[in-house]
Amino acid sequence: MDFIILIINPGAGSTRVAVFKNEQALFEENIRHQPEELLYFPKIIDQYGFRRDKILSFLESKNFDLSTLNATVGRGGPFKPLTSGTYLVNDKLIADIRTGNYQSEHPSLLGAVLAKEIADRLKIDAYFVDPVSVDEFWELSKFSGLKEINRKALSHALNVRFVAKKAAKEMNKPYNECNFLIVHLGTGITIAAHLKGKQVDSSNANEDGPFSPQRTGSLPTMGLAKFIFDGKYQYRDIKKKLNRQGGLLSYLGTDNVEEIEKRICQNDKQAASIYEAMIYQIAKEVGAYAVVLKGEVDAIIITGGIAHSQKFVDQLKSWVGFLCPKFFVYPGEGEMEGLAQGVLRVLRKEEDVNVYT
C-alpha cells in the first residue's frame, strides 16, 4: 500500500515542507520567512497561524489535493524528556506546548502544532519522530558537577538516529547491535555516543561541547561568571551571545564555513587558527565520547551541513582516525527522510507508535 505523508519542519527563519509517497519525496520546499515578519510575534508559538497559512498556500500552488494524505508529521522539539521513536501528536502535547511545559523555546515546537491542525481538518493522524528531547542517557551522563544543575539530553536526535540506522544498514548489522560515534556538524554541533541502539550520552549544542558556527559550547566557568555579572548585559542578551553570536561568528564575523575556507586560501592566518581550533575542540569531544563506549566503536559517522566540506572532514579525520578506521560521511541532514521513515514504520506496523503522556 502507498502512503502519502505531509512533512513539516520549522526552523528559525524558514519552514521546510515536503510531501512524500512512501520513501520518495514528491516535492519539497524551504519556505523562507523574513526576520521582520517573525518579529511581529511575541512568542514562537504565536507564529503557528502565520506559518500554517504559508504552508497551505504553498500546497495550493502545487495543486496538491490534501484529501490524498494518509498522515502528517512535524519535527519534534525540546519537549519533556522522551525515549526515541514515533509518537502520535495528541491534545496533551499541544496543551504542554501552548502552556510552556517544555525544556527550551525553539521553532521546532511548532512542528507538532502545525501537523496536528492540518491533520484534524482531514481526520487523519499527526505524528512526530525522535524529538530534540530524546533522553536515553544513563544516570552517569546527567551529572554536571554542581548539584543544582543537571545536564539535559537535548540534541539533533532526528538526524543523528537517521544516519545511525543508515550506517547500520550499510554494515548489514542491526542498529541495536552497533556502537557509533556520531558527529552532527551544523549551526550547532552534536557529538553523540550510540550504544546498542541507545543514545546514552551526547553534547548539548546550546550548553556544552565544542564551539560551532554560532554557539560558544563549553566556556571557562569563572570567566563566564565574571562576564555575566559585569552588568553590561541582560539575560536575553547573554543568551543571544552564547547561542546565536558565539563560535565562528564571534571570532570572525561570519558563520559561513565556505567563506572562512576561502579566507584561509587567501592566507588569512586568524581564520586558519579559529577554523582549526573548532576542529580541534570537536575532535577532543569525539575522544571523550569514545570513552563512553570504552573504545568499542563500530564506526564514526559525520553528518550535517559542514560535512559537505571535504577539507573540514579530512582535518577532523586526521585527529580522530586512530579511534576507529571505519567512517561514514553523510553530508547535509536527513530530517525530512527521517520523519517520513519514522511514520512509515508505524503505518506499515513495523514498530509500535508511542503515546505522549
CA gap 250, 188 in Å, rounded: 14
Strand order across the 189-195 sheet: 198-202, 189-195, 179-185, 299-304, 327-331
pLDDT, position 254: 96
The ranges assigned to domains in the chain are 4-134+335-355, 157-331
Collect all residues with Cβ–Cβ distance below 8 Å to 290 and sequence separation of at least 6: 181, 193, 297, 323, 324
- Max Cα separation, the chain? 63
Question: What pLDDT shows up at residue 34?
Answer: 87
Which overall architecture, per CATH, does domain 4-134+335-355 show?
2-Layer Sandwich (3.30)
Banded pLDDT at 42 (limits 50, 70, 90)? confident
Superfamily per CATH, domain 157-331: ATPase, nucleotide binding domain (3.30.420.40)
Mean pLDDT, residues 329-333 taken together: 95
Whether residue 168 is predicted with pLDDT greater than 90 in this model: the reply is: yes
Q: For 160, how many CA atoms within 13 A lie in the half-sphere containing its CB?
A: 33
Q: Taking 90 as the threshold, does the pLDDT of residue 155 lie above it? A: yes
* pLDDT category of residue 287 using cuts at 50, 70 and 90: very high
Q: Compute the average pLDDT of residues 292-319.
A: 98
How much is the pLDDT for 249?
96
Average pLDDT across the chain, whole number: 96
Residues in Cβ contact with 304 at an 8 Å cutoff, skipping those fewer than 6 apart: 156, 159, 183, 184, 185, 186, 189, 331, 332, 333
Q: Which residue has the cell 554560532?
A: 214
Give the percent of the chain with pLDDT over 90: 94
Task: Give the C-alpha separation, 67 to 64, whole Å.
Answer: 9
Tell me which of 34-38, 107-111, 140-144, 340-344 is least confident: 34-38
The two domains 4-134+335-355 and 157-331 share their CATH topology (first three levels equal): yes
Nearest to 103 by CA among 84, 73, 69, 76: 76
The predicted pLDDT at position 25 comes to 98
Three-class secondary structure assignment of 30-50: EEECCHHHHCCCCCHHHHHHH
Assess whether pLDDT exceeds 90 at residue 12.
no
Confidence of residue 86 (pLDDT cuts 50, 70, 90): very high
Q: Any alpha helices (H) in the chain, and if so which ranges?
A: 35-38, 48-61, 91-98, 109-122, 157-170, 221-229, 235-243, 247-252, 257-265, 269-292, 310-320, 335-347
> What's the whole-model pTM score?
0.94
